[in-house]
């Protein structure tokens, strides 16, 4: 059985988010008839809410221009979702600045009912993230890029390419996409004269320009992002860990791929794009292992071993002044 008060509040939310919405559209969204919508509008007026009817064939309902209403209280489940999203950051990242999160939570608490506020206040103190997550993009970058896409304005980027070289780009943004905690900008790159995916963590700085562009209305940036991010990985690795299967399962996340038991331990096969990054991860797992394939992964492990050896042999040259970074004597490269 539905709650009539909840229906009336839903009408109010729709009027605030879509001024001029028609009676039939309200009825369709709420799955009621138009006569019921009129009753809900009447109840709002009886409560002193300044609802106006817009006459004409394209008319509808709206709140009187200039009228300010207090925010509608969140349902407990809605409030919990918002709090968890703030604590978790953007999607799968938790790297939002602490001060930003605390201010947002404080403002959110002020519009919650007392009982809901007390229930949610304890969430931050009892949540701890252990798994490594990618750093979230700066919130200002996300907002600026979305606004530029919405207003059809070009953006100037200082972007670090895959080979580590900084480049200056002017792009025409269409939208943002996220996959596995990593954020991407879908845009037409004027330097390359084609549409590209730009990783937000490689954008050092950006500036929204006054120049506008005419977007291709037939271009689906969502489909472009999905197709681009579903491309097969550059490498397919196979590694055998010499460890008890239960211990390996505790240390290696299931999303990397299935662990197949072998006479000596377990075998992991999974895709990889960056072998140097993969080498560092394999060492961090903390289990003895051997590379089955590809041979290039062994080369990446040798490079990592040389880096570790240099760091172990480096000696401080002199004590730094306060605030000055320590200087170290670089050790010579070791032969493979």
pLDDT tens for residues 7-57?
A: 787 888 788 777 888 888 888 888 888 888 888 888 888 877 888 888 776
More confident residue, 170 or 76: 170
The pLDDT assigned to 55 comes to 79
Among 193, 211, 197, residue whose Cα is nearest residue 155: 211
> With 60 as the cut, is the pLDDT of residue 3 above it?
no
> With 60 as the cut, is the pLDDT of residue 262 above it?
yes
| CATH number corresponding to 4-63 | 1.10.10.10
Topology classification of domain 235-313: Alpha-Beta Plaits (3.30.70)
The pLDDT assigned to 93 comes to 43
328 pLDDT tier (thresholds 50, 70, 90): very low
What is the mean predicted confidence (pLDDT) over 239-249?
94
Which element (helix H / strand E) includes 179?
strand 166-179
Beta-bridge mates of residue 186: 175, 197
Residue range(s) in the chain whose domain bears CATH number 2.30.30: 139-229
> Concatenated DSSP letters for 38-76?
HHHHHHHHHTT--EEEE-STT-EEEEPTT---PPPPPPH
The pLDDT assigned to 276 comes to 93
| CATH number corresponding to 139-229 | 2.30.30
More confident residue, 162 or 286: 286
d(CA 278, CA 252): 13
The pLDDT assigned to 292 comes to 95
Q: What are residue 317's phi and psi, to 5 degrees?
A: -85, -45
Cα torsion 196, 197, 199, 200 to 10°: value is 90
Tell me the CA distances in angstroms from 197 to 124, 144, 193, 258, 296, one per residue in order: 35, 17, 13, 30, 27
The pLDDT assigned to 61 comes to 85
Helix (H, G, I), strand (E, B) or coil at 174: strand
- pLDDT tens per residue across span 75-103: 666 677 677 666 665 444 445 566 666 67
More confident residue, 162 or 125: 162
% of the chain surpassing 90 pLDDT = 36
- pLDDT tens per residue across span 50-77: 888 887 766 788 887 766 565 556 666 6
Instruction: For the chain, give the mean pLDDT.
Output: 80
d(CA 68, CA 14): 15
The pLDDT assigned to 189 comes to 94
The pLDDT assigned to 72 comes to 59
pTM for the full predicted model? 0.47
Judged by phi (left if over 0) then psi (alpha if -120 to 50, else beta), residue 294 lies in: beta
Dihedral (CA of 41, 45, 50, 53) sign: positive
Contact 278, 269 (CB under 8 A): no
245 pLDDT tier (thresholds 50, 70, 90): very high
The pLDDT assigned to 31 comes to 82
The pLDDT assigned to 238 comes to 95
Residue range(s) in the chain whose domain bears CATH number 1.10.10.10: 4-63
More confident residue, 245 or 143: 245
């Amino acid at each position: 059985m539905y709650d009539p008060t909840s229906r009336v509040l839903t009408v109010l939310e729709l009027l605030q988010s879509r001024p001029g919405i028609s009676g039939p559209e309200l009825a369709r969204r709420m799955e009621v008839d138009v006569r019921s919508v009129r009753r809900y509008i009447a109840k709002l007026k009886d409560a002193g809410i300044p609802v106006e009817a817009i006459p004409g064939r394209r008319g509808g309902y709206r709140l009187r221009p200039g009228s300010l209403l207090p925010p509608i209280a969140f349902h407990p489940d809605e409030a919990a979702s918002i709090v968890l999203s703030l604590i978790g950051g953007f999607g799968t990242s938790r790297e939002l600045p602490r001060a930003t999160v605390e201010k947002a939570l404080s403002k959110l608490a002020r519009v919650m009912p007392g009982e809901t506020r007390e229930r949610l206040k304890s969430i931050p103190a009892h949540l701890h993230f252990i798994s490594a997550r990618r750093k979230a993009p700066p919130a200002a970058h996300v907002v600026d890029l979305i606004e530029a896409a919405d207003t059809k304005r070009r953006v100037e980027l200082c972007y670090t390419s895959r080979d580590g070289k900084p480049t200056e780009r002017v792009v025409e943004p269409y939208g943002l996409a996220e996959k596995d905690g990593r954020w991407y900008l879908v845009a037409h790159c004027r330097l390359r004269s084609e549409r590209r995916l730009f990783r937000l963590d490689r954008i050092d700085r950006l500036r929204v320009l006054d120049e506008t562009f005419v977007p291709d209305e037939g271009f689906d940036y969502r489909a472009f992002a999905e197709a681009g991010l579903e491309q097969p990985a550059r490498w397919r690795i196979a590694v055998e860990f010499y460890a008890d299967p239960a211990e390996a399962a505790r240390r290696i996340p299931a999303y990397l791929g299935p662990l197949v038991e072998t006479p000596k331990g377990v075998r992991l096969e999974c895709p990889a794009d960056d072998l140097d990054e993969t080498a560092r991860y394999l060492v961090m797992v903390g289990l003895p292992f051997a590379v089955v394939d590809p041979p290039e992964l062994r080369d990446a492990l040798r490079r990592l071993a040389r880096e570790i050896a240099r760091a172990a042999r480096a000696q401080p040259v002199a004590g730094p002044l306060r605030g000055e970074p320590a200087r170290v004597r670089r050790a010579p490269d070791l032969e493979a």
